[in-house]
Amino acid sequence: MGEKLDKLLHLALSDDKIKAELLKTKNSSDPLLAFCAKSSEYGIDISLGELIGGGEEFCSAMLRSVNGGGTEAFDSWSDFYELFFAALEG
């Protein structure tokens, strides 16, 4: 998931039209679905499930990577969608 978003971010940062179109999805009636559809237009297929579950999956993998399992769960997991737009707008 992270690789797909990195690739899309690189495209958007190198092309103002792509950046504007992705930013426009945030004002859609269903922003996540619009974002996924727009990503697919640029050859980067991101499903709604991937986008929503990506952060949880990443944090779960980090907890499993600790020898014997993580002792404390995260308060929340990373929101890849919000992190993408923070990087795009920042």
* Residue pLDDT, tens place only, 46-78: 998 888 876 666 666 666 656 665 556 555 445
Report the range out of 1-5, 21-25, 58-62 with the highest average pLDDT. Answer: 21-25
CA 49 from centre of chain: 11
pLDDT interval class at 80 (50, 70, 90): confident
Q: How many domains does the chain have?
A: 1
DSSP assignment of 32-57: HHHHHHHHHHTT----HHHHHHHHHH
Question: What is the per-residue pLDDT for 49?
Answer: 85
pTM: 0.75
Residue 31, Cβ density class (10 Å: 0-12 exposed, 13-18 middle, ≥19 buried):
middle
What's the one-letter identity of residue 84?
Answer: F
- The tally of CA atoms less than 13 A away on the side-chain side of residue 70 is 11
Domain that holds residue 42: 2-89
Identify the band that residue 81 occupies on the pLDDT scale cut at 50, 70 and 90: confident
